[in-house]
Structures are given as C-alpha cells and as structure tokens.
Structure 1
C-alpha cells in the first residue's frame, strides 16, 4: 500500500480497566488523539482500536501518500488513508490471532474516531466501566519515520475468559501436554 516495509514492534502489553487505559494514554499523550475502530466477533468479541497522537497520524498519511500531496491534499485524504491503514494493521493483528488460535473472527468496516482517552474507551457510556482493555504499545517504522501508536482491544470479561482458554489451548498445541494437569 505504501511501497515501503512497515516494521511493527510491541515493546509492552497490559490488561487494564477502561478507566486505567484512558488514564495511561492521557499520561503519555498530551495532544489530541485519532483512532481507527473495528469491531470483531467470533470465539471472543470486542472492539479493536489503532490509536495515534494526531501529529503522528498526519505523518502516517504522508508516508501512505508518498509525500506527494500538499497540506490541503493530506487533510482531504486523512480519514481514508487512516481507515485503510488501520484496517490493514488491525486485520493483520486479529487475523494472526484467529489463525494461531484456530478460530475465525469477523470484522466490521473501519471507522475513524477523534477525541481523548475517555471518549475512545467509551467511559461516557452507561456501561463504560465494564470490561477490560488489552493494551499494546506499538512502534511503527515506515521508511525512516518513527510513528508511535497503540492497539487497544476492548473486551468484556466473558470474551477475556474465552481468549485465555484459547491461548492455553494454543500453548498446549505448541509445547505439548500440560505438565501441571497430571
């Protein structure tokens, strides 16, 4: 899509409440945020978010468009480029998980959201405190540009429990029989 290799690294992963996730992102990012959101359903369900500081999102759009657009052109293409990029990254992550866990997942179309952590993690909703967030810190490197961001997966407790069971099954397939089960 961008004609360059995209390197992703995940230096940290946490499972936290939605409120803690909103606090973590507020402490790390002082400016406005932009996110690409996709819902997923299957053996475990939830909502995946690819989150960037607004300034990094524009750098990502420039990388996707190959620096060929002026500021007005970049602004015009921003949501489309972010949706496509978010779809590729989120689909890649979730499809890899689904394949490794041997369970299919269906994904919605991507949507671009803007706001602070409270809005992105839906703390203003009636059930905004429910569920947890699987919070991955990611670093993107595209053609010499360092673009940092986050992947967050919002899930309710039954989905987290289902994911734990699937991960245990995966580990058993990879490493063999569970020695603690005897």
Structure 2
C-alpha cells in the first residue's frame, strides 16, 4: 500500500498526541516541567535507519527501551538515547548526580519507567484513534552501539520503520533521543488501512 503525505501527517498528529500525553505524566513526576517535541516523522528502510543513527550518534553507545506490540498490526516501539543523555535524564528524575556508584541500577529502572510512559502513550494514541486493539510486552532495556543495534538483527530488508526524532527539554537541559516504530511485514499496510478508515476522505 502506498504511503501518502496525508498518511505521514496523520501519523505525525497521532504520535504528537501520544507524546503530549506522555509529557503530562512525566511533568507530574518531576519538580521541573518536561516538554517533549517531535518535529517530524519519517519512513525509512533498515539501511536508511542505520545511516541515520550513525550520522546522529556516530557509533556511540545507545541506551534503548523496547516495547513489543501485537494485534491488528504488530512490531516493536523503541525509545533510544545516547548514554550521556540517558544519564542526564536519570539524574533529573532521581535527583542523583551522574556517575554515582549505583547509577546503573537506578538508570535502568528510571529509563524503563520513562520508556514505558512514552511508548505506551504513543501506541495508545494510535490504537485509540484507529479503534484497534493492541497487546504489549513488558518493556526491556539494553545498551549497544549502532553497529550492533538489536533492531537490525535478522531484520527483513523490506521492513519499513517509522522514525521520530524527539527532544526532551527540562529547564535549560536539552536531552535528545529517537522514537522508533518498526512494523512486521504487512503490518504497516494494516496500519495505513486503519488510518484511511479512521480519517476517511480527509486522506
């Protein structure tokens, strides 16, 4: 099924709604308000995504929270940070200074919570707006370089991936990361058909 500019606009709107809801939840967790901005949503091949991540992060170490989903459409949703941004975000969430001995344990728990809030907000926005039921796995945390990124393991070259670059703004602290939605073969078509049904002639 052909992806149109109207599909991209609809997806961006739905992702923005989900991110907005997530920001509201995160605001309640923090002493300082947090803003999440998503400037654009793009559809990429696995090879294009790999080039994009290498351009953005070089081959640095990335902290990733992954949430798998199944239902009318299935795949994985990932929230990806450079480890430095992850540590900065955790220090704001926990009040601990980066580099304390127990930061690794705290970091994983805090990032899993943030990832769960953001990714569930986005996928919930998609499923609610499109009236499609989805089931979710428990979020999982990992660290890897772009060259060894788990999302590329055994991936079909025909898979299409939605990439949304986001920026977490906490006072003057800018923390950059990416939201990656990867759909199994055929699931993107199912998603686009659901968008057509939900938005009708607007597309």
Root-mean-square deviation (CA, aligned residues, Å) is 2.0
Shift in CA distance, 27/123, structure 1 to aligned 2, threshold 3 Å = same
Equivalence for 2:135: 106
Rounded Cα–Cα distance in structure 1 between residues aligned with 2:141 and 2:104? 14
1:130, 1:156 within 8 Å by CA — same for their partners in 2? no
2:70 is matched with: 41
Aligned residues: 174
2:170 matches 1:142:
yes
Q: Which runs of 4 or more aligned residues in structure 1 lie more than 6 Å from their structure 2 counterparts after TM superposition?
A: none
Q: Which has the larger radius of gyration?
A: 1
1:28-177 alignment runs, 5 A limit: 28-30=56-58, 31-67=60-96, 71-120=100-149, 122-125=151-154, 127-172=155-200
Compute the TM-score of the two structures, normalised by the length of structure 2: 0.78
Which of 18, 21, 41 is equivalent to 2:49?
21
Would you say the 8 A contact 1:14–1:134 is kept in 2? yes
Q: Which has the higher strand share?
A: 1
3-state secondary structure, aligned to 1:44:
coil
Q: Deviations over 1:35-91 (max 9, x none)?
A: 100101111110001000111000111111024686223233111111111001101
Distance 1:179 1:103 in 2: 19
Q: 1:11 maps to which residue?
A: 39
- Alpha-carbon deviation of 1:25? 0.4
Structure 1 residues 3 and 104: alpha-carbon distance in aligned structure 2, compared to 1, 3 A threshold: farther
Q: Quick one: structure 1 residues 69 and 59, their matched pair in 2 at CA, closer, same or farther if it must change by over 3 Å?
A: closer
2:164 and 2:136 map into 1 onto residues whose CA distance is 19
Identify unmatched segments of 5+ residues in structure 2: 1-28
Instruction: Flag the structure with higher helix content.
Output: 2
User: In 1, distance between residues paired with 2:123 and 2:64?
Assistant: 16
Aligned mates of 1:56, 1:33 — CA distance in 2: 9
Q: Indicate how the Cα distance of structure 1 residues 168 and 155 shifts in structure 2: closer, same or farther if over 3 A, else same.
A: same
**TM (normalized to structure 1)?**
0.86
- Measured in 2, the distance between the counterparts of 1:121 and 1:18 equals 12
SS of match in other structure, 2:164: strand
- Give the gaps of 5 or more residues in structure 1: 173-177
**CA separation of 1:73 and 1:179: change in aligned 2, threshold 3 A:** closer
8 Å CA contact retained: 2:62, 2:83: yes
SS in 1 for 2:176: strand
